Structure formats: structure tokens, C-alpha cells
Structure 1
Amino acid sequence: MPLQQIIIDTDPGVDDILALLLALSASEEELKVLLITLTFGNTNVENCLMNLVSMFHVLELEQKWRLENGLSVGFGCLSAHKPIVAVGADRPLEEDKAIGGDYFRTFSPVPPRVVGLAPHFTPEQTWKHMFATTPVLKGDEEHPPNFRPTNSPAHKEILRILGDNPVDSVTIIAVGPLTNLALAAEEDPETFLRVKEVVVMGGNIDVPGNVTPCAEFNTVTCPHSAARIYSLTSPTPSSTAPSPSTTAKGLKPIPEILSRRLNLTIFPLDITSSHLLTQETFTSTIAPLLTCPSPSPLAQWTEIFVDATFATLRRIFTGKNIGNIGLSLHDPLCVYYVLTQQRGGWEALEDRDVRIETRGQWTRGMCVVDDRGKRVEMDVTNPVLLGDEGVWLHCGFGNRVRQMVKSPDEEGMAGEMLRRIYGGC
């Protein structure tokens, strides 16, 4: 399988961190993580940065620990190439401040738990000043050992990477609100469309939402950005983009015609929710790494916030007969797809006309899918096609989104993820 170059756009919470660890644990022959961009979402963008810097600090400790214990250092992808880290959007396109769902406020961000329970896993130096718009020079200060900070905004870094590399050579994995991607596409749509594929965790098609009855967290948090990105899959992007009257804060309207369509693959709740990490699987995996005289830093750190998440899930479902609790691997599944798509076994519905509702009081972030092209069987011997069926697509409009519906190994995905992250344990 050829080396894949990727950008990861993320709002690091629990499953985002697992997705990042899965990507960085790849071999240098599998992945090259060129850029990690941060957006608001699970928490504010400042906490997202602290989460990410803490993760890189723990990975430095982990690789030293493995070397001292005669183990394979792992994380070949990270060892071979230090990714750039850029800070991006701190609010949705249409609002003055970030909003969030009450359900997700129960999932505290990583740093408070790590700082409170294991302060030695929080780095003394966070290099925060290196991300400032006007960086503060610190003389001969040492730079981060395993990532490269930049003070350039995330969306500009996305465009720079896409512009500096050949067309169709960089994949974007987006596992948070799509605000950074929308800003990049707004500034320079033709450069943005040089991307090979945009892989998105977001939305819900035939299952309920997880924040509202209609919507999934990433899409409801910034529906305008999702709507703008989805519209780039249409032959006539302006026909499915949010109307000009709702264009946010001077953003340019989506062009009527572009040189090519966006190759967009979505992983909605329909597929991600069934890919689970149970507490039993997680605990049995890391137990040997915690009982040795010198425990694994990575196992200790991840145990803190993963176990805390399981504890929160138990509180939410107290009194309900649900059996073994599982953490849905929403974000890691997108990385797993990029790592394993050449194996086969992935199944998708092609050219789905999925649009994002941006203005509904109760339906903000809802995925609206045009299924009217199906034949209506009024009589087995005399099927009738309704006169207005499939108008969107039949008129040459409509988005063309690939919806992933099946993975090659729903049961084994969590196990492979853990083996990769914890060094073949």
C-alpha cells in the first residue's frame, strides 16, 4: 500500500485523542501526518491545544520508556516526521461564540482530569506563545521534540499544504466541526479542491442524533460549515450551499461552478456508533502495561480519561439494562478507514444527495437526504413513479456524498486499534 499523506482536523476530546494516537502509531510506510489543525468543539480551542500538547508530551515519555525497557519504540509515523500543529476556529461561522450540547458537557475535557490526577503528565512547557498571531521570541528556547508549532491560522496551513503538494496526494480526516475546512474552501476553493479525499466524522442519516433528535454533535455545532463543505460535491455548488442571505460575516458565496467536485466520504452515527471499545477490552489490554515495576506512561495517561468516560457513561445509563458499556469509536473509525481501505471490505452508498439544515429551530444540523428516486410500488404488477421524484438530482443539482455503511471488521477494529497504540501488546 503506498504511503498516504494526511491532515487531521480535530477538537481533541476522548475519542479524538484515540484517533490521533491510532494515526501516529502507524508505520512510516503507512502514513505521513503532515498537519494537525485544531478547532473548537468538544471544548474551547485553548483546551484543545492543551490536550494535544499533553498527548505529544506523553508520547515522548512513552517512547523513552519503551527504549529503556527493550521494547519496540513504535509510532514510526511520528518518529519519521514531526507534524505541524496549527490552531484554528474558536467559534462557528454564524455565531459570536461557541455553543455546545448539554449532553457533551458531561464529558469533561482531558486536561482537568490529567492535571488533577496525574500532574506529571502535563508538560511544564506548552509552547503556547509559539501559536500566537504575533509569536513572542524566547531567545534560544528549545522547540517541541515531536511536533512543530506554527502561528499561521489552521485554514491557511491547510491551503499551504494542499498547494505545496501534488493534486490528489493529501487526504483530510476531519473529526470535529468543519469550520476550518469551510474557511479554507471560502478563501481559495480551487486550492482546497486539490485534496484527494475529505473523510468526515459527522451527521446521522437513518438513526437519531446524539445532541438533538435530528442532529449529531459536529454538524449541529457548526451547520453552516458542514453545508458549505457538502455543497462542494455538487456540479453546481451554489445551488446547495446556504443561501446568500445567511452568509456569515462577509464570507464569499460559494461559486456557481468550480473546476472539479470535492471527493467527500462521511462516517455518520449510522456506522460509527456500532464500533465499540468496551471497558473490559480496554482494561485487559493495558493491565500488563500498568503492573510492571515501571508502568507505561501512555497506558497510565489514557487510563485516566478513558476510565473517567466509562464512569460517566455508567452514570448516564444507571438503572438501564444495557449490558457491557461501550465507548463508540466515532473518530478512530475514520483513521482506521484511511489505514485499511486497500484491504477491501468497506461498503459505501455512492452519490447520496445529503444536505445540512442550517436555520431550523429544531432541526439545526440535520442531514436532509433526497431518497425520492426510488420506485413506489403502488401495485406489484403496475409500479408507479411519482411525477416529482428525485427533482434535485434529475435537474443536475444536488450533492454527491459517499456515505460509508460497513467496515470490514466491526468486531475486531477496537482490538487492532489498541494493538497499534500500545505496541502490539
Structure 2
Amino acid sequence: MAPEKIIIDTDPGVDDILALLLALSASAEEIELLLISLTFGNIDVENCLRNAVSLFHVLEKELEWRKAKGKPLGYESLRKCKPIVAVGAEQPLDEQILMADYFHGADGLGGVHTKAPHFTPEELFRHLFHSPSASSAPIPPENPTPLPHEALFTPSSSPSHLEILSQLKKNPPHTVTIVAVGPLTNLALAAAHDPETFLLAKEVVIMSGTIDMEGNVTPTAEFNAYADAVAAARVFALTSPKPSTTLPPCVSLKPYPDVLPSKLNLTIFPLDITTMHLLNEAECNSITSTLKEEGSPLAQWCGVFIHATFRKMEELYTAEAGATEKRVQDVDISLHDPLCVWYMIMRGVEGWKAVEGRDIRVDATGQWTRGMYVVDRRTRKKPTVEEMGEADEVEGDCDGWLHPLGGNRVRQMVESPEGYKTTFGRDMIRRIFL
């Protein structure tokens, strides 16, 4: 069976790094990671690049350590196919920038670069990457250190959105899935630049939004959707038979053509499903503690920011004045981003359940509802095209919610296979560290 070809678009904070490790530790038959596309989000894109390069630096040390100890190397996917790393958007399309450094730390990884500086490489090879803005472009050193031949990744001098399009062109149509676990700015830029090529993606799988749960940055919005609501709305619009019906106002990007060759196959993992897939601290420690004592670079590096995240969860949710009741998701780590990668690895397992074709729209302009996922909860029946005849809209309906050619067509994942809520965290840790 051929592996799933994937692109991961990410803003490497804690759960993003776990998602990347999960993909890289997959078997060669499960995943072929073509590209890691970096965007602003949890932190600024400069820190995202530092975290990504540090990840590969630590993995190099880990593979050396495992070989010296006579342990199985693992990480077949990584050893078979070195992914490209590209740097992308440093700010949202038309909105004020928001970052989640309050949760992930200023460096995105709970202060790992100061707490364990020996795991941060001295040379980040910034001169080999695209720089989002000329004003912030790094000055190449007089004698720049070349990337080692045996390096585990390939740097790209192209911006992320162009590298995404390049990968879609290089591979057969509808064979590459984009897994986006940060703000959707890079995807929106790629789709605006060349929508026909962007629609060659097999599927776009995103961790974004919330439907029936409370938001995590506002009462109604999840961070990734809020951080660039315009970008999210533009990506969602590509699922519509008529994208103009849900396309948001955008100063920086032009509208899509009236006629496109196909609709985007979009699958969303909102907070409703990701929040309940948990990593328990005791279970995590039972697998990693011995490895840290034995000298595993990966276990020691990850241990810093995983420990910091558990402490942050306690600080935010269980130490609040007047708190009388703890929910398990308030003291464990919710595996929001890794669940999307787990889906790519385990999508053939029976038990994944989704609601197909939901008209979910992203509010890009609301004063209090920016990034909110809006769904039509009315029970009115949508007429057929034949029943509509020459009418432009359904009587008593505004904004085309009931028009048969209007609105988005989104696949909302609502349930994982039985037992995954309690076993996924353990299985993920075992794959990454053993």
C-alpha cells in the first residue's frame, strides 16, 4: 500500500511539534512527509523556524544515540524521505496579528531554548530560507556554514505558499493531502495565487474552529480560526459550488474566478473532537522517564516543554480563584494537532465518523464573533435547483443559506474510532519515543 503523501502547514508550538514527530516517526508505508510549511501563529515565524530546525537537530542526536545503544532507530518515514522546510506568512491577511505565546511561551516551546540551550543548534541556516519581509531578512554570514549533506531536511528559498503549489504540481493530481494545524494564511495565499493548482490537493485536513463547544480565545472562536479569519473563510469558500457566495471581503487578495474546475475536499477537526483526545502526564512519564535517565536527547528535549505545558494547564484551569470542579481536559493536554496526523495514519481504521457537506461559514468581520464557525441550525428544507427556477434567493432567507448553489460544503469530523480518546495519547508517545 502506498503511503499517504502529506504537507504539514504549521506554527510549531507544543502540540504542533508532537504532530510533526508523529508524522516523522510513522512507517515508510504510512506517511511520506513532503513539506513542512511554516506560518506565524502560536509564535512569530522566526521562532517557528528555530523550533523546526531544532527539531531536526534533536532528531539527528536521537538517531545517533539509538544507534550507539543498539536500539531500533524508528523514524522510517523521515529516514526514507527528507522533508522540505519552507518559511511562509508572518502575519494575517487583513487583520491584527494574534499569537498564543501566553500559553506556549515566547519561544513556542515553554522556554526550551533557555532551559536546555544545548539542544538548540548554533547554526539555524536562516540564509538558506525565504525571508518573509526584506526588512527582516537575515544577513548571511561572510562564510556561511553549508547545510550538512546528511541533514534530515531540505531548506527552501521559496515562500511556503509557492512551495505548496510546487509540491502539488510535482505529484500526480489528487495524491497529496495538506494537513494544516495553524492559521490558514499560507493556504489562502496559495489558493489565491493559483486556485486551479491548489484544487489538485487530494484533501485539506485542518485543526480549526469550534461548532458546539466554547472557543479557546473568545467565547465563540478557536485560536487558528481567529488568528486569520479571512484566510479561513477564503479556504472554506473553495468548497462551495459558487465560491463568491461565501467569500469574505479581502483587501490584499483578489476574488476567485467565477468558474473553477472542482471543489475543495475539506475536512475539519474542530475543538469538539480534538479537546477530548488527551495526553495524561503519568502515562507520558511512565514511557519517557527512563529514556530521559538513559540519555535520550529526544526525551530530554521534549520533556522540557511537555512538563511546562502540564504546569501551564494547571495554572490556567485549576488554580483559578473559586474553581470548584476540574474537568479531565483541564489538567491533561488535549492533542489537537496530533489528532489530524493520527487520522492520516489511521484513516483506514473503521470508526471515523463525519458529517458530510455541512454549510459552515467563518465570520471574518464580526466585532465580537471574528473566527466563529457559523452553521444553519434552522430546520427549513433547502430547495432543489429545479424548484428554485429563475429565483435568486429563497423567500425569507438572507445570505443564501438555503440556495442550492450557495454556501460551503465542509466535512466535519465528529468521532474517532472506539477507544481512541483514551489510547491515542499513549500510542502517540510510544511511537515517538520507542
TM-score, normalised with respect to structure 2: 0.89
Q: Which amino acid aligns with 2:126?
A: K
| Equivalent residue for 1:106, pick from 99, 103, 106 | 103
Q: How far has the Cα of 1:366 moved from its partner?
A: 0.5
Partner of 2:285: 283
Q: Which amino acid aligns with 2:267?
A: T
What are the within-5 Å matches in structure 2 for residues 173-192 of structure 1? 173-192=179-198
Say whether the 8 Å CA contact 2:42–2:108 is kept in structure 1. Answer: no
Partner of 2:391: none
| Equivalent residue for 2:205, pick from 199, 212, 221 | 199
Q: Which amino acid aligns with 1:269?
A: L
Give percent identity, aligned residues only. Answer: 51
Q: Which amino acid aligns with 1:15?
A: D
Distance 1:226 1:164 in 2: 25
Partner of 2:43: 43
Q: Which amino acid aligns with 2:97?
A: A
Partner of 1:415: 426
The DSSP-based 3-state class of the residue aligned with 1:306 is helix
Say whether the 8 Å CA contact 2:183–2:225 is kept in structure 1. Answer: yes
Q: How far has the Cα of 1:22 moved from its partner?
A: 0.3
Partner of 1:170: 176
Distance 1:14 1:233 in 2: 30
Q: Which amino acid aligns with 2:166?
A: R
Tell whether 2:148 aligns with 1:143. yes
Distance 2:48 2:371 in 1: 22
Tell whether 2:22 aligns with 1:22. yes
Q: How far has the Cα of 1:13 moved from its partner?
A: 0.2
Say whether the 8 Å CA contact 1:228–1:254 is kept in structure 2. Answer: no
Distance 1:204 1:112 in 2: 25
| Equivalent residue for 1:253, pick from 255, 263, 284 | 255
Q: Which amino acid aligns with 2:51?
A: N
Say whether the 8 Å CA contact 1:177–1:226 is kept in structure 2. Answer: yes
Say whether the 8 Å CA contact 2:243–2:258 is kept in structure 1. Answer: yes
| Equivalent residue for 2:117, pick from 110, 116, 119 | 119
Say whether the 8 Å CA contact 1:235–1:257 is kept in structure 2. Answer: no
Q: Which amino acid aligns with 1:143?
A: P
Distance 2:46 2:303 in 1: 23
Give the length in aligned residue pairs: 404
Question: RMSD value over aligned CA atoms?
Answer: 2.0
Q: Which amino acid aligns with 2:319?
A: T
Question: Which moves more between the two structures, 111-120 or 147-156?
Answer: 111-120
Q: Which amino acid aligns with 1:399?
A: N
Say whether the 8 Å CA contact 1:7–1:33 is kept in structure 2. Answer: yes
The DSSP-based 3-state class of the residue aligned with 2:230 is helix
Distance 1:55 1:210 in 2: 27
Partner of 1:381: none
Q: How far has the Cα of 1:393 moved from its partner?
A: 4.2
Distance 2:397 2:255 in 1: 29
Say whether the 8 Å CA contact 1:347–1:407 is kept in structure 2. Answer: yes
Q: Which runs of 5+ in 1 are unaligned?
A: 376-385
Partner of 1:380: none
Partner of 2:126: 128
Any idea what the Cα deviations from partners look like across 1:100-149, whole Å, max 9, x if unmatched? 36xx5233034572222211101111111111458948577243610000
Q: How far has the Cα of 1:373 moved from its partner?
A: 4.0
Partner of 2:161: 155
What are the within-5 Å matches in structure 2 for residues 231-246 of structure 1? 231-242=237-248, 246=249
Q: How far has the Cα of 1:388 moved from its partner?
A: 4.8
The DSSP-based 3-state class of the residue aligned with 1:410 is helix
Distance 1:393 1:341 in 2: 32
Tell whether 2:322 aligns with 1:322. no
Partner of 2:134: none
Distance 1:61 1:39 in 2: 26
Partner of 1:378: none
Distance 1:111 1:215 in 2: 23
The DSSP-based 3-state class of the residue aligned with 1:342 is coil
Distance 2:145 2:87 in 1: 23
The DSSP-based 3-state class of the residue aligned with 2:27 is coil
Partner of 1:263: 265
Note closer, same or farther for the CA distance 1:186–1:394 as it changes in structure 2 (3 Å cut): same
Q: Which runs of 5+ in 2 are unaligned?
A: 132-136, 382-393
Note closer, same or farther for the CA distance 1:278–1:260 as it changes in structure 2 (3 Å cut): same
Say whether the 8 Å CA contact 1:11–1:45 is kept in structure 2. Answer: yes
Distance 1:26 1:259 in 2: 34
Say whether the 8 Å CA contact 1:9–1:172 is kept in structure 2. Answer: yes
